[in-house]
Chains A and B, each alone.
Chain A
Amino acid sequence: MLSIKNLHASIAGKEILKGLNLEVKAGEIHAIMGPNGSGKSTLASVLAGREEYEVTDGTVTYNGKNLLELAPEERAGEGIFLAFQYPVEIPGVSMMNFLKTAVQEIREYRKQDQLDAKAFLQLVKEKQKLVEMDTKLTNRSVNEGFSGGEKKRNEVFQMALLEPSLSILDETDSGLDIDALRIVANGVNKLRNKNNAFVVITHYQRLLEHIVPDFVHVLHQGKIVRSGDKSLALELEEKGYDWLKEATV
Chain B
Amino acid sequence: MELAETKNINTQLFFDLYDGVLAHAEFDPIDERIKRSYELIKNLDAPDIKNEDWKYTPIRKYLSLFDFQPHISEIPTCEPKFSNQNLVTIQNGHITSIELTKETAGKIEILPLIEGIGKYPELVEKYFYKTIHHSDDYFAHINQSFCLNGLFIYVHDHCIVDEPVYIQQDCFNENETFHQTHNLVLVGRDASMNLIKKELCTGDGGKVFHNLLTDAVILDNGKFSFSRLQNECKDTYQITHFYANLLPHAKLNVNNITVGGAFARNNYWVELNGVESNAKLRGLSLLNEKQHADSWVKILHNSPYCESDQLFKSIVDDEATSVFSGRIYVAKHAQKTNAYQSNKNIVLTDTANSYSKPQLEIYADDVKCSHGSTSGQLNEDELFYLRARGIKEQEARKLLLYAFASNLVEQLDDEHFKNEVKGLIDSKFNNA
**Contacts from A to B (Cβ < 8 Å):** 48-51, 71-73, 75-77, 81-82, 84, 87-88, 90-93, 97-98, 101-102, 105-106, 109, 141-142, 158, 162
Residue contact B404 to A72, C-beta cutoff 8 Å: no
Most buried by A among B381, B387, B395: B387
B242 interfacial by beta-carbon distance below 8 Å: no
Residue contact A76 to B399, C-beta cutoff 8 Å: no
Q: How far is the CA of A97 from the CA of B384 in the complex (A)?
A: 17
A50/B403 contact (C-beta < 8 A), A76-B389, A77-B390 known: no
Residue contact B400 to A82, C-beta cutoff 8 Å: no
B386 interfacial by beta-carbon distance below 8 Å: yes
A73/B392 contact (C-beta < 8 A), A92-B404, A101-B399 known: yes
Residue contact A90 to B400, C-beta cutoff 8 Å: yes
A105/B406 contact (C-beta < 8 A), A50-B384, A84-B385, A93-B400 known: no
Q: Pick the residue among A71, A87, A92, A97 that contacts B393 (CB under 8 A).
A: A71
Most buried by A among B381, B384, B385, B392: B385
Q: How far is the CA of A142 from the CA of B396 in the complex (A)?
A: 13
Residue contact A105 to B385, C-beta cutoff 8 Å: no
Q: How far is the CA of A61 from the CA of B398 in the complex (A)?
A: 31
Q: Pick the residue among A49, A76, A92 that contacts B407 (CB under 8 A).
A: A92
B79 interfacial by beta-carbon distance below 8 Å: no
Using Cβ atoms and an 8 Å threshold, which residues of chain A touch B381? 88
A87/B390 contact (C-beta < 8 A), A92-B402, A98-B399 known: no
Closest 9 CB pairs of A and B: A92-B403, A76-B390, A106-B390, A72-B387, A102-B389, A88-B385, A92-B406, A93-B403, A73-B387
CB distance from B368 to the nearest CB of A (A): 24
Residue contact A88 to B382, C-beta cutoff 8 Å: yes
Residue contact B395 to A101, C-beta cutoff 8 Å: yes
Chain B, interface residues (CB within 8 Å), range: 20 to 34
B65 interfacial by beta-carbon distance below 8 Å: no
Q: How far is the CA of A106 from the CA of B399 in the complex (A)?
A: 16
CB distance from A27 to the nearest CB of B (A): 23
Q: How far is the CA of A106 from the CA of B386 in the complex (A)?
A: 12
Residue contact B391 to A90, C-beta cutoff 8 Å: no
Residue contact B403 to A102, C-beta cutoff 8 Å: no
A158/B385 contact (C-beta < 8 A), A91-B403, A97-B399 known: no
CB distance from A84 to the nearest CB of B (A): 7
CB distance from B409 to the nearest CB of A (A): 10
Most buried by B among A72, A81, A82, A84: A72
Residue contact B387 to A76, C-beta cutoff 8 Å: yes
Q: Pick the residue among B390, B402, B407 that contacts A102 (CB under 8 A).
A: B390
Using Cβ atoms and an 8 Å threshold, which residues of chain A touch B4? none
B23 interfacial by beta-carbon distance below 8 Å: no
B388 interfacial by beta-carbon distance below 8 Å: yes
CB distance from A162 to the nearest CB of B (A): 7
CB distance from A201 to the nearest CB of B (A): 15
Using Cβ atoms and an 8 Å threshold, which residues of chain A touch B395? 101, 105
CB distance from B58 to the nearest CB of A (A): 34
Could you pull out 14 A-B pairs where Cβ atoms are within 8 angstroms? A48-B388, A71-B387, A73-B396, A76-B389, A81-B388, A84-B385, A84-B388, A88-B381, A90-B400, A90-B403, A92-B400, A92-B404, A93-B400, A101-B399
